[in-house]
Amino acid sequence: MSVRKLLTAVIAAAVSFSVVPQPVWAAENDGYCDNNEVCVYKNANLYTPRSDFKLYYDDMHGGLDFHTYNYPPECNTYAIFDCRLNDSISSVDSWSDHRSLRIFTDAQYDGAFQTIHIYGRVMQVQYNDQTSSLCWNDGGIPSSVDPDCTFSN
């Protein structure tokens, strides 16, 4: 293969990579709602910005390294105050087929909470703009650590 042909092939490969949709890895915090994740939304009725979680989240404020909504991607930009997650969630969409979750008004699974069941969809959460932590009921957090994370579906 000549250098010119090789170069053409490399460029063609690069172009094809750039137009092929990205594979879905079902990653947490990628901004997309995947199986067994929960998507939380800043606005009522599942209007973005949103963020997706598969695991527990004990403190959404998180000090200086606060978490922002990650969809749209611009929300990942540092210091976009309107995209802060803590005390801003207004609706929730669970994509889990086997577990329920709770959202709490305080960090460390404390304060008042609302339970969202399997495939639960809440257009307006009970404690609007007050959520600071969330946990699932599938046993990842034993009741000895926090009994509020042990509950039935």
Question: Given the rule CB under 5 A, which residues bind Ca ion?
Answer: 30, 32, 34, 42, 52, 88, 90, 129
Range 71-88 burial, b when 16+ CB lie within 10 A, else e: beeebeeeeeeebbbbeb
Residue least distant from Ca ion (Cβ): 90
CB-wise, 12 or 27, nearer to Ca ion?
Answer: 27
CB-wise, 124 or 143, nearer to Ca ion?
Answer: 124
- Smallest gap from Cβ 83 to Ca ion, in A, equals 11
- Smallest gap from Cβ 136 to Ca ion, in A, equals 15
- Smallest gap from Cβ 64 to Ca ion, in A, equals 22
Please, which residues have CB within 8 angstroms of residue 148's CB and are 6 or more apart in sequence? Answer: 102, 104, 109, 110, 113, 135
- Smallest gap from Cβ 87 to Ca ion, in A, equals 8
The upper half-sphere exposure of residue 15, i.e. CA atoms within 13 Å in the direction of its Cβ, equals 6
Are 136 and 56 in contact by the 8 Å Cβ rule? The answer is yes
| DSSP state at residue 41 | E
CB-wise, 30 or 146, nearer to Ca ion?
Answer: 30
CB-wise, 95 or 109, nearer to Ca ion?
Answer: 95
